[in-house]
Structure 1
Amino acid sequence: MARLKLTLTTVPKAAIPEKGDAYYWDTELRGFGLRVTPRGVRSYVLQYRLPGRNARRLTIGIHGSPWTPEKARGRAEELLYDVKRGDDPVLAARKRAREAVDLEFSKYVDTFTDAYLKSEWRDSWADAKRQLELHVIPHLRGQALPEIEKADLARVIRRLSDRPALARNTHATLRKLFAWAVDQGDLVSSPIPAAPPGVKARKRVLSPDEIVALWQASFELARPMGQFVRLLVTTLQRRGEVAGLPWAELNSLKKVWMLDGERAKNEDDHLVPLNPLAVAVLAEMANATGHEAKRWPRKGLVFSTTGATPISGFSKVKKQLDREMLPILQDMADKRADALGDERELVLLRPWRFHDIRRTGTTQMQALGVPIEVTEKVINHKSGETAGIRGVYNLHAYTDEKRDALEAWGAYLEKLIARASAPNVIALAKGRA
């Protein structure tokens, strides 16, 4: 247990952990401490224990105005006095918070945005709130959270059925809002339907030609966007998880990526074995930072244009990819037609999204004989065979099976790329060196 006299000098210098929160306990007041997150956020906490109960921990406030070490220590002393009288500061804080929260839907959206979205959905919180303001609040304004029923939300989502992507995104934001309300004790249960009503699930899968075109087109993007796209393809992980990837989550010796549950959509830690193509992309990024290909950095972000924040601007990247992919697809079709003696035909690129890459990879894994429960483990997805009671009690991590599946996916990609014989494809042998 790290102990430290908490002062204006020592608090800013407290080391930032690579993973998990670090605690530094004050040498003057028992139970008073400093919590430091991997993001560098410093906050004052109090740990206490009531007779016959487990220890509890309460956050006093984040370091900075108005909370200095002395003010936080003084507040901790007040709370410890309450504990001696038999009062529970955590329960009291929760009660005050519930009494202060306005449960009218439009007001609660503001509370949810400030308390959750801005910190957890840093890159997309503004879009999520705008969706609620434009498509949900006009229909639920004036209703308190406990009054909103499943049918009310189903009608909201059905109004967006002609825009499936918007309907799914709005549904996902509402699902998180109501789940958060339950966690805060503001609701007993969530009324949100399990799936967006009246919205068909996406089934778009990229064809082999489209996969090759996407891979080749990525080399026309400026660093680090091209490398980001290639890591999306080789690992099949979510766009936000790849974009925000810190070097600290990667192990160059074991060739694995341990995704921290705090960054994962389902909040579960997730181990991603890295196939040779993924290793080649990361080695390329390591070289760009001045490190050897086999000795990756331990600090900072893999993909960043500022050095401090993850990449963004994905819509612009997608538009450029579409522009680059279409002539590649046309050229491939022309060469195939010429070889067969057929007439050349106009080629069109059907609309696609980054998320379709995951579906494409898992679909191909099925064709390669990978069991469905393994593909779901590969993409850190809970449904079907891995949901419910079977998922709760099946603690097998599938590490070897995930590696085999991603190796098979990588080998499939290599064959497609080699068959295309594109001049700007990376040298795979060099990538493994």
Structure 2
Amino acid sequence: MRITKREVDAAGARASGDIYYWDDKLSGFGLRVTPRGVKSYVVQYRLKGRPARRMTLGIHGSPWTPDKARARAEQILIEVKSGIDPVAMAKKKAQDARTLGFEAYAKRFSDECLKVEWEGSWEDAERCLTLHVVPRLKSRALPEIDAADIRAVIDPIRSQRALARKVWAVLNRLFTWAIEQHDLPANSNPMAGMKPPPKPADRKRVLSPDEIIAAWRASFEVGEPWGPFIRLLFATLQRRNEVAGLPWKELDQNRRLWHIHGERAKNGEDHLVPLNELALRELSERGWKRRGLVLTTTGKTPVSGFSRMKRRLDKLMLAKLQELADSRAEALGEEAQSVQLEPWRLHDIRRTGTTAMQSLGIPVEHSDACLNHKSGEAGTGAAKVYHLWKYEPEKRTAFEKWGAHLEQLVRGAEESNVVPLANRRA
């Protein structure tokens, strides 16, 4: 018989034991009917040198029709001819779904990789997975994820270039890590050969004088250890993670110098940061030590939770900006107006500082050196040592001028304040 809807509807059961009806057009394709009348489609096959095996395709009814079951049976029998065991493959897929399901694997990846390799930014990376990837891939097993799935994740956020690149980078690291852990075969990264989303346009955000004042004042209310963290960002102009993970051993109090080791620097190059008065006061306030971290809540790990802190800082800054605007309006006899805080990032502090340096007469190459921007001159051996100390006097001058400018700016806004900034506490 040929298994059709008419034949399936007419197929009867027997009192005991299953009864099978086999298709006479497609060998191995059949219909099973249980004593209770439950009808399901099956495929039977034999691999060379092995006993026959039988695999259930699905129970008759939506979505399994005779035609759909026949097409699936044909596909399985073709695989069998290629030496693939569909039962073993189904078991492997079920195992993968349990151990390599994306949502569960993303949690493992965060715990075992991101928190170790991306100490300063693992929370942002984990948030990218949670908000933009897991809702789409859900429990899909890693071996089943292909380039089309990746595009389905990236395309909806492609217009947000910075976010799209970040999600792309986190996903790419997840798959390369899975290969390193032997959870995926070599050369099985679905993102291999896929171009990352284009870079966002260069940011030009520079904090206004009022925003600098507001951020500095807000830092005294944002709580420990975030207040000192914000003030050190302003005083030193170094990168967020470099300040967050600052160990005491990199600091030389007598020489007033911070030596950022290459393994902690974004560009991999050692960097000397002359410490101005603002930075020295902030560090002295914390009590100079020989070991451990300058900023930590656990005593062992750098501070984290930047996003939560930034939201609180922005809220406090907006209130400070409003206070400044109200005071100015009152002094001028004008009606007070509500103010807004334009979106900004912690990284914008660096651009704000170097922009101010240039307005203070600091050459661009000196302000770039203050930020550890690569010049292509580092080389190796003695050349590296020379490059490390290159511009050290000029950088010290630049940081001192920036520190004096920053202190004058903030203290000038507080007419009655005669206490050094780093000693002021809200």
TM-score normalised according to structure 2 size: 0.59
> Residue 65 of structure 1 corresponds to which residue in structure 2?
none
Which among 418, 421, 424 is matched to residue 414 of structure 2? 421
The answer for the alignment partner of 1:169 in structure 2 is 166
1:55-108: CA deviation from partner (whole Å, max 9, x where unpaired) = xxxxxxxxxxxxxxxxxxxxxxxxxxxxxxxxxxxxxxxxxxxxxxxxx9x899
C-alpha offsets along residues 143-168 of structure 1, whole Å, 9 cap, x if unaligned? 99xx97xx998997564244344234
Q: Does residue 305 in structure 1 map to residue 306 in structure 2?
A: no
Q: Is the 8 A contact 2:158 2:164 kept in 1?
A: yes
- Could you tell me how far apart the structure 1 residues matched to 2:398 and 2:178 are? 38
**Percent identity of paired positions between Structure 1 and Structure 2:** 52
- For 2:209, the equivalent position in structure 1 comes to 208
Match of 2:237 in 1: 236
Partner of 2:119: 122
Match of 1:331 among 320, 323, 326: 323
Show CA shifts across 1:337-370 (max 9, x none): 3334443322111122212211211222232233
Following superposition, the deviation at residue 262 of structure 1 comes to 2.1
Contact 1:178 1:191 in 2 (8 A): no
- Retained in 1: the 8 A contact 2:278–2:422? no
CA deviation after TM superposition for structure 1 residue 298, in Å: 0.2
Q: Distance in 2 between matches of 1:130 and 1:247?
A: 30
1: CA distance between counterparts of 2:252 and 2:133?
Answer: 43
Q: Select which of 325, 338, 351 maps to 1:359.
A: 351
Count of residues paired in the alignment? 310
Alpha-carbon contact 2:281-2:422 (below 8 Å) kept: no
Please say if residues 161 and 198 of structure 2, whose CA atoms lie closer than 8 Å, have aligned partners that are also in contact. Answer: no
| Contact preservation (8 Å) 2:120, 2:245 | no
Does the C-alpha gap of structure 1 residues 212 and 372 become closer, same or farther in structure 2, counting only changes over 3 Å? same
**Letter paired with 1:264:** A
Cα deviation 1:102-145 (Å, max 9, x = unaligned) = xx9x8998998687534221354364256357656969x9999x
CA-to-aligned-CA distance 1:23-62 (integer Å, 9 cap, x gap): xxxxxxxxxxxxxxxxxxxxxxxxxxxxxxxxxxxxxxxx
Counterpart of 2:261 in structure 1: which amino acid?
Answer: D
Contact kept? 2:165, 2:198, Cα under 8 Å: no
8 Å CA contact retained: 2:244, 2:303: yes
State the TM-score, normalizing by the size of structure 1.
0.59
Distance across 2 between alignment mates of 1:131 and 1:302:
29
Kindly provide the CA deviation profile for residues 218-273 of structure 1, in whole angstroms up to 9, marking residues without a partner as x: 11133322111101111111222211111111111011111122222222222111
> What SS does the corresponding residue of 1:305 show, helix, strand or coil?
coil
Alpha-carbon separation, structure 2, partners of 1:366 and 1:325: 26
Gap change, CA 1:428 and 1:354, over 3 Å in 2: closer
Alignment CA distance shift 1:199-1:283 (3 Å): same
Residue 377 of structure 1 corresponds to 369
- Amino acid of the residue matched to residue 403 of structure 2? G
How far did 1:316 drift?
Answer: 2.8
C-alpha spacing 1:420/1:309, structure 2 compared with 1 (3 Å): same
| Secondary structure class of the residue paired with 1:262 | helix
> What is aligned with 1:46?
none
Matches within 5 A, 1:27-426: 116-125=113-122, 127-128=124-125, 131=128, 135=132, 159-173=156-170, 196-197=197-198, 199-286=200-287, 296-382=288-374, 386-387=375-376, 390=377, 392=379, 395=384, 396-397=387-388, 398-421=391-414, 426=419
Change (3 A) 1:182 1:270: farther
Q: Which amino acid aligns with 2:345?
A: R
User: Whole-Å Cα distance in 2 between the matches of residues 337 and 163 of structure 1?
Assistant: 38
**1:308 Cα shift?**
2.1
Contact 1:174 1:192 in 2 (8 A): no
Q: 1:225 to 1:168 in 2, by over 3 A?
A: same
Please report how far the alpha carbon of residue 173 of structure 1 lies from its aligned counterpart in structure 2 after TM superposition. 3.9
Whole-Å Cα distance in 1 between the matches of residues 365 and 178 of structure 2?
Answer: 31
Structure 2 counterpart of 1:275, one-letter code: N
SS in 1 for 2:273: strand
Shift of 1:302: 0.9
Answer whether contact 2:261 2:271 (CA < 8 A) is retained.
yes
Q: How big is the shift at 1:281?
A: 0.3
Indicate how the Cα distance of structure 1 residues 142 and 316 shifts in structure 2: closer, same or farther if over 3 A, else same: closer
Cα distance in 2 for residues equivalent to 1:183 and 1:267: 23
Q: Greater Rg, structure 1 or structure 2?
A: 2
Q: Aligned partners of 1:419 and 1:349: how far apart in 2?
A: 21
Extract unaligned runs of 5+ from structure 1.
1-103, 287-295
Cα RMSD for the two superposed structures: 4.1
